[in-house]
Amino acid sequence: MKTYAYYPGCSLESMAVSYHVSAVEVAHLLGVTLVEIEDWNCCGATAYSHVDELLAQVLSARNLALAEKEQRPDLVAPCSGCFKNLYFANEHMLEDADLMDHMNFALEADDLSYSGGVTVHHLMDLFVREVGLDAIREKVEDPLEGLRVAPYYGCQMTRPRKPGEGLEDVEGPRFFEELVGALGAIPVDYPYRMRCCGASLIATSRQAALSMLRDLLQSAMDAGADVIATSCPLCQINLEVYQSEVNRELGTEFSMPIMYFTQLMGLALGIKPKQLGIGSEVVPVAPVLACRQSQRTAVAG
């Protein structure tokens, strides 16, 4: 099957290692090869656009140029923040020849150039669209029966794209729910599934971030979710690691497991929890593990 240029991003090297390992395991099992881009650099997260637009642009341009040099026209990013930066940096250069020239002038300093030949995908796009739900369904060995999963889209996997920019429905997508369904789990609907979790404010406007976090956790809990599935390391870290802060400062008692969608995929595909980076959580995910069909039969038998 196809080979993709893989851009892990900084979070996946540290706080989100479990996203990285589960992504690689699942891709491998589904016959997709992810080849990490050689010597990639930070995409700039959001702080760069605060400081200088062109600086943010050149950071992404270098990563795109590296993928092009390796002759891999399809680039995959698992982090929604990285995805958005790479996607729009690419779009901007394709629309604006002057900008492309300017970037190439800078890239020359690193013996690189970019001609616009790379397409940027989010990791979830890769699984849902390129691999396809049917192919995933066929490979499910250990369905997550009865598990109520709240798919959390976050912001940048869908926004600020417009309809037609690789998304059928920006305001009301269903692909995450469909993916959860394909794993044998029950996708729960909840009003905050697309609302910002406040991750980018946690260091700078803590009260705003914690209150956004509380509303989101409450929304999923009210809908009876057993676990929130995320597709972004920034959301995952915010939702999981700061859950205790929300409890402490806002008087709540949340204990909501927050897992990467690739970890849920891996479990359903029969991969061992350890290989999916499960075991490094701050909020225990035991209730999720117990929902696998194999565990249920084991208990029943």
Partner 1 sequence: MEVMNLLYAGDGKPPNLCVHCSVCSATCPAVEFMDHSPRMLLAMINAGMKDEVLASNTFWTCASCFACSERCPQGIHVAQIMYALKRYSLWHNRYPEGLVGPDFSRRFVKTILANGKSYEPGYAPAFIWEGGLPGLLYEMLGAVKLLRRGRLQLIPKKIKRVDNFRQMIGRIIPLEGIS
Query: According to CB under 8 A, which residues from 97 to 126 bind partner 1?
Result: 105-111
Give how far Cα 30 sits from Cα of 69, 128, 142, Å: 26, 12, 15
Q: Which two tokens stand for residue 95?
A: 């629309």
Task: Report whether 23 contacts 233 (CB < 8 A).
Answer: no
Q: How far apart are CA 92 and CA 102, in angstroms?
A: 12
Give how far Cα 120 sits from Cα of 55, 84, 192, 226, Å: 19, 9, 27, 32
Which residue of 4, 6, 40, 127 would you call a contact of partner 1, by CB under 8 A? Answer: 40
Which residue of 1, 2, 35, 55 would you call a contact of partner 1, by CB under 8 A? Answer: 55
Least Å distance, CB 150 to partner 1, is 17
- 297 contributes a contact to partner 1 by CB under 8 A: no
Pick between residue 110 and residue 222 the one whose CB is nearest to partner 1.
110
Q: Which two tokens stand for residue 61?
A: 């341009």
Least Å distance, CB 201 to partner 1, is 5
Helix, strand counts (H, E) of the chain: 14, 8
Q: Which two tokens stand for residue 116?
A: 């616009």
C-alpha dihedral sign at 39, 45, 51, 54: positive
Pick between residue 30 and residue 56 the one whose CB is nearest to partner 1.
56
Least Å distance, CB 135 to partner 1, is 31
DSSP 41: -
Interface pattern 141-180 for partner 1 (x via CB under 8 A): --------------xx--xx-x-------xx---------
Least Å distance, CB 208 to partner 1, is 4
C-alpha closest to that of 158 among 201, 119, 193: 193
- 292 contributes a contact to partner 1 by CB under 8 A: no
- 41 contributes a contact to partner 1 by CB under 8 A: yes
**Contact residues for partner 1, defined by CB under 8 A:** 10, 13-17, 39-42, 44-55, 58-59, 62, 105-111, 155-156, 159-160, 162, 170-171, 195-196, 198-201, 203-209, 211-212, 215, 241-242, 244-245, 248, 279-282
